[in-house]
Amino acid sequence: MYSFEFAKPKTIDEAVAALAGEEAQALGGGQTLLPTMKQRLAAPATLVSLNSIPEMIGVCVNDAGHVCIGGATPHAVVAREAAAHYPALAALAGHIGDPAVRNRGTIGGSLANNDPSACYPAAALGSGAVIKTNTRDIAADDYFLGMFETALNEGEIITEVRFPVPQKVNYQKFVQPASRFALVGVFVAKYADGVRVAVTGASSDGVFRWAEAEAALNADFSKAAIDALSPPEGTMISDLHGTDAYRAHLVKVMTGRAVAAA
């Protein structure tokens, strides 16, 4: 790790101002950023911690009935406080990493990072969430632009994420044995206006919606509808932990299981 300055703003405005500085970078839980800095692969001049901004931490339900999660809310808090409002989301948060990761890592950090194997991107895309930043609201469908790529601009902060609550929902995570990130994770959510199926871990383009599965489930929300499909096509990841064919197969299996469990 190289030396850096550390800023600890108390408000979003102060944070935005601090991030305007040269080579400043936002710090959420540091669960991705700090290891990268330790390996000297990142060298921000200033780290702007978002962890002391009260308006960015916590879980609530707004008038529209959406579950709103502050951008700097740790996974452990979501696991606890969202349980009553959106159990599937709370369960997803409760199975990220280990207790230390959950106590530090934040939803904003996870969505900003957009790791192709992370869980929250599947929840956000699968729920049709709105990603609120200091400047605008971004629909999840417009937010994820590929592996580690998002619609965020330089210095833009995720302040809140709003999740419409589905009628039926389930997240199936098949873990990569070493990291226990998702080797494949499938988030299936049934809303009044349709079913969304978001897949993480599988594609080298990052999280994606499996359109054929959504169409099939819109016609018949059952595991049998998935069994009839072929595995999704596309640019599946092949690595030490599984080939592209295996991942495609898992997408189908996990989708079927999510539907059955929803």
Partner 1 sequence: MPKDHGIGASSKRREDVRFLTGQGRYTDDINLHGQAYVHFLRSDVAHGRLNKVDTSAAEGMPGVIRIFTGKDFEGVGGLPCGWQVTDRHGNPMQEPAHPVLAQGKVRHVGDPIAAVVAETAAEARNAAEAIVLDIEELPAVVDMKKALRPDAPKVHDDLSSNLCYDWGFVEENKAAVDEAFSKAAHVTTLELVNNRLSPNAMEPRVAVGDYNTGTDDSTLYTTSQNPHVIRLLMGAFVLGIPEHKLRVVAPDVGGGFGSKIFHYAEEAFCTFAAKAIRRPVKWTASRSEAFITDAHGRDHVTKIELALDAENNFTAIRTETYANMGAYLSTFAPSVPTWLHGTLMAGNYRTPLIYVNVKAVFTNTVPVDAYRGAGRPEATFQLERLVDKAARELGVDPVDLRRQNFITQFPYATPVAVEYDTGDYNATMDKLLEMIDRDGFEARAAKSKADGKLRGLGINCYIEACGIAPSALVGQLGARAGLYESATVRVNATGGIVVMTGSHSHGQGHETSFAQVVADMIGVPEAQVEIVHGDTANTPMGMGTYGSRSIAVGGSAMVRATEKIIKKAKKIAAHLMEASEGDIELKDGQFTVAGTDKSVAWGDVTLAAYVPHNYPLTELEPGLEETAFYDPNNFTYPAGAYACEVEVDPETGKVTICSFAAADDFGNVINPMIVSGQVHGGLAQGIGQALLENVSYDENGQLLSASYMDYAMPRADDVPFYQVDHSCVTPCTHNPLGVKGCGEAGAIGSPPAVVNAVIDALHRGGMKHVAHIDMPLTPARVWSAMHG
Ligand X SMILES: Cc1cc2nc3c(=O)[nH]c(=O)nc-3n(C[C@H](O)[C@H](O)[C@H](O)COP(=O)(O)OP(=O)(O)OC[C@H]3O[C@@H](n4cnc5c(N)ncnc54)[C@H](O)[C@@H]3O)c2cc1C
What is the contact surface with partner 1 in residues (CB under 8 A)?
1-2, 39-40, 174, 177-179, 183, 240-243, 246, 249-250, 253
Q: Which of residues 136-175 bind ligand X (CB under 6 A)?
A: 157-158
Q: Could you say which of 12, 24, 32, 124 contacts ligand X (CB under 6 A)?
A: 32
Task: Compute the least distance from the CB of residue 112 to ligand X, in Å.
Answer: 3
CB of 71 to ligand X, least distance (A): 4
Three-state SS sequence of the chain:
CCCCEEECCCCHHHHHHHHCCCCEEEECCCCCHHHHHHCCCCCCCEEEECCCCHHHCCEEECCCCCEEEECCCEHHHHHHHCCCCCHHHHHHHHCCCCHHHHHHCEHHHHHHHCCCCCCHHHHHHHHCCEEEECCCEEEHHHHEEECCEECCCCCCCEEEEEECCCCEEEEEEEECCCCCCEEEEEEEEEECCEEEEEEECCECCCCEECHHHHHHHHHCCCHHHHHCCCCCCCCECCECCECHHHHHHHHHHHHHHHHHHC
Pick from ligand X, partner 1, none: which does 255 bind, CB < 5 to 8 A by kind? none
CB of 221 to ligand X, least distance (A): 26
Residue 41's binding partner out of partner 1, ligand X, none, with CB under 5 to 8 Å set by partner kind:
none
Among 108, 116, 128, 256, which residue sits at the site for ligand X (rule: CB under 6 A)? Answer: 108
Interaction between residue 105 and ligand X (CB under 6 A): yes
In the complex with ligand X, the residue whose CB is nearer, 33 or 236, is 33
Residues near ligand X (CB under 6 A): 25-33, 50, 71-72, 75, 96-97, 101, 104-106, 108-110, 112-113, 118-120, 157-158, 180-181
